[in-house]
Structure 1
Amino acid sequence: MNSWKYCRELGLAASIYLMYIRFSGAHRAVSAITEILLHIDWTSMRRLGVDVGGTFTDLVLWDDDGTTTVHKTPSTNEDPSVGTMKGISALEVKAEIDLESIDMFFHGTTVATNIVLEHNGDDVGLITTEGFRDLLHIARKKRPLNYSNYQELPWQKWQLVPRRNRRTVPERIDASGAVLTSLDEDAVRQEARLLRERGVAAVAIAFLHAYKNPAHEQRAREIVEEEFPEAFISLSSEVASQYREYERFSTTALNAFVGPKTSNYISKLVDEASAAGVSDDVHLMTSAGGLVTARSARQTPVSLLTSGVVAGLIGGCAIGAASGYPSVITLDVGGTSADVGVAPDGRLRMKHLLDTRIGDYHAMVPMAEVDTIGAGGGSIASIDEGGMFRVGPRSAGAVPGPACFDRGGTEPTSTDAMVVLGWLREKSFLSGTMEVRPQLAEQAVRNHIAEPLGQSTEKAAMGIFTVLAHSMTEAISLHSVRKGYDPRDFSLVAEGGAGPLFAWHIAKQLDIPRIIVPTHPGITSAVGLLATDIRYEVPTTVWTSSDQADIDLLAREVARLTDQAVAQLKGDGIPDEHIDLECSVDCRYVGQGYELRVQAPSGEIDADWVEQVAQAFHEQHGRMYSQRFDDKPVQLVNVRMTGIGMVPQIRLPKIAVGDADSTPAKVATAQTLMWTDDAGSPKWVDTDVYSRELLRAGNVFDGPAIVEQFDSTTVIGIGQRATVDELGHIIIERCAQ
């Protein structure tokens, strides 16, 4: 399997250092580094990462010698594979390589997410237990507006499965997995024929308590395959094998809703990449922060929701750790949205079950703690009917784009505002390959914002920036301060094409001591695709308590999950020596309605194992809610086994060291509008402009300054100092008083 060609001529010292970064978390023993090094086949490796965003598609090619080639191209939202293949072709020329030399292809996509958000999935039929036809309609008692009798419920307005296609059959399994009523196979056959006649593209099969005994669902699938072989079939026992009927049914229906289009897209991309000579060994990022094969992604495309968003967080963690700052807050600002993630000690946090939603629907799949707001480079500034000044969430996207790009857009965006402020120069965008017309930006801001509000164009532009920056500041505060983390203990990793334009101001507002601007901030999500492992999570519901734990049940279920996770990895061709396992448990105090996930210890499943899980839960509950009850028994609800196919981490190459004079040579001086102090009004100031390509390790320069490069522009504010580290990352800190 050519996906296991690794890193030719990688020095041993660098190998140990990189593996230490990857495995230095508390959940990995340092001894694992030595074990892995003993088994790695140090041959050549060339990896391609492609992240498709709403505005741009980002590509990065990582060679085994540390050479990196990056490219950005406008996304083709009508068919993302078109933009992807165009970008790959351009990257081939840029890197001067043969596409057949690419060993692995990692991909992050918004296809499944967009289908859900735009409500344009395929027609779905549901076969479920008699008496549970309307479970998807009723949902939970929680409503968007708690006290309104006249509200539209989104899961009812935009139904995943219309009532006429929700079909029931006699069958019943109890909560222990015992069969109470045998499956009526004739009824399943009849309903499958009916759904086929109605022209549905996908069939979801969700029976009561199938997470305990999937036999009825598996037999129902066999019957549907016989009667309706062209249907995309989704089983709740495979998609979400744990208790909570509504969430399990919703997730299964979501998987069917996005399944046909997403699986067709993946198949088309794999075929086109293979035809072009790129490796057909395509792996896709999941919402949990791991990679899965194209085969697995086609079966459970619901796992791809928010995939590109998570890649940005993983990339930020890798970059922060490599620069010596493992605790990071990531700010990934693209053309349409801004993604915020918080990773203490470089560890991804998983979302609470109450928060694992996508659009209007509940998705009971593991999701890393990353949230998105409608704030990006393409966010449109406007004045509503009530005279209120707004920025976003509406975006100009790739087409027509900001007014300054002269592609048909006439409304002012945050990009246009920063052109007016002097931060984005005429030839700075994509190294001058995309023309920027300042006069169009000024005209858009003046006509739509400044004149209606009776303000100068410059003040209106600064207002656009300030409003959008405030939205990002609030998002970071929501996911750090309000969840028990102090931003002053973190470094802010500025990602995306626009992240480094906002980070300098946001860090000042939240008193974050340090900003890290990656070597290629605009393609950090694509880098994140190359910095993660292949992961499969297998859950089950156990229902036992720490004071009366069923050790035999726990040991049996952990062993079963282990075998299942290992089998999935081996099915992908991953050898034994590259397989690792992590166990976690969803716990709660007896009487609580929802759980918190905690890491379980390795080793034998015994009373001491249960006690360690309980103690971990007490600590987690205390952090989350400032209350812990050590004298109360802990209920172990779900056990999860994560199988990891370990991929050796990409090598971050060092850049050339600067001369004795640590100040880099500036390429220009620009007039920019900046705050000269915290209380004053913005003023036009002389600002040094530097080229990122000319920066060297050890370079130091003070703001106000601008650093331009192909995929982004970085702003260093007044009172801030930038230092270039040995990896080429720009570290921005407050100047010493």
Structure 2
Amino acid sequence: QQMWPNDYVSVSSEILREVREFERGSTAAVNAFVQPVLARYLKRLGQRLKDAGNDRQLLVMQGNGGILNASAAERQPVQTVMSGPAAGAVAAAHIGRQAGFENLIACDMGGTSFDVSLILGGTPALSAEKDLAYGVPVRVPMVDIHTIGAGGGSIARVDAAGLLRVGPESAGAEPGPVCYGRGGAKPTVTDANLMLGRVEPSGFAGVSQAHGTEVVAAALGSAIGDPLALDAVGAAAAVLAVAGNQLASAIRLVSVEKGHDPRDFTLFAFGGAGPLHAVELARELGIPRVLVPRFPGITSALGCLLSDLRHDDVHSLWRALSEVDAGEADKIFDDQAARGTQALESYAVPVTGVEVIHEADLMYRGQSHVFRVRVDSPGFDADRVATSFAERYAERFEIILPDMKPVLASLRTTVIGTRQGVDLSLFGESEVAASAGERSRPVYFDGQWLETPLLQRDTLTNGLVVTGPAIVEQPDTTCVIDPGAVATVDDAGNLVIEVGGDNRWPSGGNDGNRPGNACSD
């Protein structure tokens, strides 16, 4: 600041206390680039809140699933990278724990993207680094989220080779899909869903001049049907099939390729478009059940309310584990915990408790695969750490390397300040029971049109059972319950859908082939 006086200086050693010169430099560069913009925005927002008579602390979501106050975010805005999707993962973990499901695959499908994260034991999986556009690495702790360009607004087209493609180009909100009636001419995933009866124009929030199936059919026919010799319905089904394959591939990246079997998880579907594709996607991957929260379209916003204060600290060692002194490791952990506790106190936000988590990053000498394991401190035990690392390595690669010596890359400490919880029962329970057959329309499932009941989400009472096919509509999303699937409304208003079909799990009395549409208390 003496050499170049200004309000914004980013020091790489303060942002990332870790050996990796390039990653530390690129992370500091991203921080420096974003800092003036975010700092000015937060100052304006804070002032407007004060002018409105709100003197509470302004809190900002972090990419690691925690929150920090505005002044800390102004100093290190890089900590907010991927904070929106991280909030969704936090909400998924919280709602899943309350519903009795601690292992989740959280899928957030909106208008432009599909974000996938893994929830293990009720906690979102974290990564130490993420590559942004053009391969620029940002090395800060963040929820491990894989994103692809596949959402409701993703545009379908036939390429020069005659292959059907969906996304990543998106129609966005303006002009939006063809069915929005705002000038969009290219068919999208949303248009395909409308063509097959899964959604209707009157259900689009904020859309007043929506088109019906005639205009959508013409767009699908000219862009997809004519090149592939399909009618409009066949073109729409093909678009959803290609999109579904892309969504399934994204889930495999965060599960199968990291040593996890999707069949051991529950699919948590949220976002405006997530519940539309959830059951079909779960069946594709052999996932036994789907959990749809009460308000899928605002689940990420809810995650901001559910998040706790969080501070992460890292110290590089890069030393053979056998050479690490236990006293030295405990001293590093103590210093990190003290810094984290001090940081949380500086936020001036009331907490109900403080949790300190110690971890170690390890790798085998000569390899680049780093795994993180929990560590006890005080009482750092190198043998226990080595055993935990070997177990994680074997879980990922299905191989044991007894002759290889682990290297301790770094020690990490996370300090979490637990905030007062949010009572999700505030959403309330409907007092109006749903009844089958009030409204229905033909919906296209697996090559045939089935007359399908249309249910309003706010009429589904706790304990209600809905047998597919059925469509559940609400202002922020539409949920498709495919034939053979059975949905139950739990005590928190979530939809727990047993997908049925050819899965290895017991489906609670429904063999996946039971016909008929029914609602029962």
Name the CA distance, whole Å, in 1 between partners of 2:330 and 2:467: 59
Superposed counterparts of 1:564-713, under 5 Å? 564-574=339-349, 578-601=353-376, 603-606=377-380, 609-630=381-402, 632-653=404-425, 655-656=428-429, 664-675=435-446, 682-713=447-478
Preserved CA contact (<8 Å) 2:10 2:31: yes
What is the letter of the counterpart of residue 651 of structure 1?
D
What is the letter of the counterpart of residue 305 of structure 1?
V
What is the letter of the counterpart of residue 270 of structure 1?
G
Is residue 158 of structure 2 the alignment partner of residue 383 of structure 1? yes
Superposed counterparts of 1:92-111, under 5 Å? none
If you compute each CA radius of gyration, which structure gives the higher value, 1 or 2? Answer: 1
C-alpha distance 718-293 of structure 1, shift in aligned 2 (>3 A) = same
In structure 2, the residue matched to 1:418 is 193
SS at match of 1:645: strand
Preserved CA contact (<8 Å) 1:658 1:699: no
CA offset at residue 466 of structure 1?
A: 1.1
Superposed counterparts of 1:247-396, under 5 Å? 247-278=23-54, 280-351=56-127, 353=129, 356-360=130-134, 361-396=136-171
Name the CA distance, whole Å, in 2 between partners of 1:651 and 1:703: 31
Superposed counterparts of 1:502-513, under 5 Å? 502-513=277-288
C-alpha distance 242-352 of structure 1, shift in aligned 2 (>3 A) = closer
Preserved CA contact (<8 Å) 1:664 1:700: no
Name the CA distance, whole Å, in 1 between partners of 2:351 and 2:89: 28
Preserved CA contact (<8 Å) 1:664 1:695: no
C-alpha distance 595-388 of structure 1, shift in aligned 2 (>3 A) = same
Preserved CA contact (<8 Å) 1:569 1:579: no
Name the CA distance, whole Å, in 2 between partners of 1:274 and 1:408: 41
CA offset at residue 268 of structure 1?
A: 2.7
CA offset at residue 514 of structure 1?
A: 0.4
Which of 483, 489, 509 lines up with 1:724 in the alignment? 489
Is residue 329 of structure 2 the alignment partner of residue 545 of structure 1? no
In structure 1, the residue matched to 2:516 is none
Preserved CA contact (<8 Å) 2:352 2:419: no
SS at match of 2:84: helix
Preserved CA contact (<8 Å) 2:150 2:167: yes
Name the CA distance, whole Å, in 1 between partners of 2:174 and 2:41: 22
Q: Structure 1: any 5+ residue segments left out of the alignment?
A: 1-221, 676-681
C-alpha distance 307-575 of structure 1, shift in aligned 2 (>3 A) = closer
CA offset at residue 434 of structure 1?
A: 4.8
Name the CA distance, whole Å, in 2 between partners of 1:557 and 1:695: 53
Name the CA distance, whole Å, in 1 between partners of 2:391 and 2:172: 44
> In the TM superposition, what whole-angstrom CA distance separates every residue of 1:455-510 from its partner, at most 9, and x where no partner exists?
11111111111111110011111211221111111111110000000111111111
CA offset at residue 388 of structure 1?
A: 2.5
Runs of 4+ in 1 over 6 A off after TM superposition: none
Preserved CA contact (<8 Å) 1:657 1:726: no
Is residue 208 of structure 2 the alignment partner of residue 437 of structure 1? no
What is the letter of the counterpart of residue 265 of structure 1?
Y
What is the letter of the counterpart of residue 687 of structure 1?
T
In structure 2, the residue matched to 1:473 is 248
CA offset at residue 270 of structure 1?
A: 2.7
Which of 204, 207, 228 lines up with 2:5 in the alignment? 228
Name the CA distance, whole Å, in 2 between partners of 1:631 and 1:529: 46
CA offset at residue 524 of structure 1?
A: 1.1
> In the TM superposition, what whole-angstrom CA distance separates every residue of 1:169-190 from its partner, at most 9, and x where no partner exists?
xxxxxxxxxxxxxxxxxxxxxx
What TM-score does the superposition give when structure 1 sets the normalisation length?
Answer: 0.65
What is the letter of the counterpart of residue 669 of structure 1?
S
In structure 2, the residue matched to 1:210 is none
Would you say how many aligned residue pairs link Structure 1 and Structure 2?
Answer: 499
Name the CA distance, whole Å, in 2 between partners of 1:611 and 1:516: 40
CA offset at residue 273 of structure 1?
A: 3.6
Name the CA distance, whole Å, in 1 between partners of 2:101 and 2:76: 35
SS at match of 1:685: strand
What is the letter of the counterpart of residue 98 of structure 2?
A
Q: Structure 2: any 5+ residue segments left out of the alignment?
A: 501-509, 513-521
Which of 224, 228, 232 lines up with 1:457 in the alignment? 232
Name the CA distance, whole Å, in 1 between partners of 2:53 and 2:225: 52
Which of 490, 510, 520 lines up with 2:295 in the alignment? 520
Preserved CA contact (<8 Å) 2:434 2:460: no
What is the letter of the counterpart of residue 673 of structure 1?
Y
Name the CA distance, whole Å, in 1 between partners of 2:9 and 2:435: 59
Superposed counterparts of 1:390-409, under 5 Å? 390-409=165-184
Name the CA distance, whole Å, in 2 between partners of 1:485 and 1:576: 35
Name the CA distance, whole Å, in 2 between partners of 1:564 and 1:643: 9
Preserved CA contact (<8 Å) 1:657 1:698: no
> In the TM superposition, what whole-angstrom CA distance separates every residue of 1:107-160 from its partner, at most 9, and x where no partner exists?
xxxxxxxxxxxxxxxxxxxxxxxxxxxxxxxxxxxxxxxxxxxxxxxxxxxxxx
CA offset at residue 583 of structure 1?
A: 1.2
Name the CA distance, whole Å, in 2 between partners of 1:289 and 1:248: 21
C-alpha distance 590-449 of structure 1, shift in aligned 2 (>3 A) = closer
Preserved CA contact (<8 Å) 2:116 2:147: yes
Name the CA distance, whole Å, in 1 between partners of 2:346 and 2:306: 22
Preserved CA contact (<8 Å) 2:115 2:147: yes
Name the CA distance, whole Å, in 2 between partners of 1:435 and 1:531: 37
Question: 585-594 vs 242-251, which deviates more?
Answer: 585-594
Name the CA distance, whole Å, in 2 between partners of 1:700 and 1:562: 48
What TM-score does the superposition give when structure 2 sets the normalisation length?
Answer: 0.91
Preserved CA contact (<8 Å) 2:178 2:188: yes
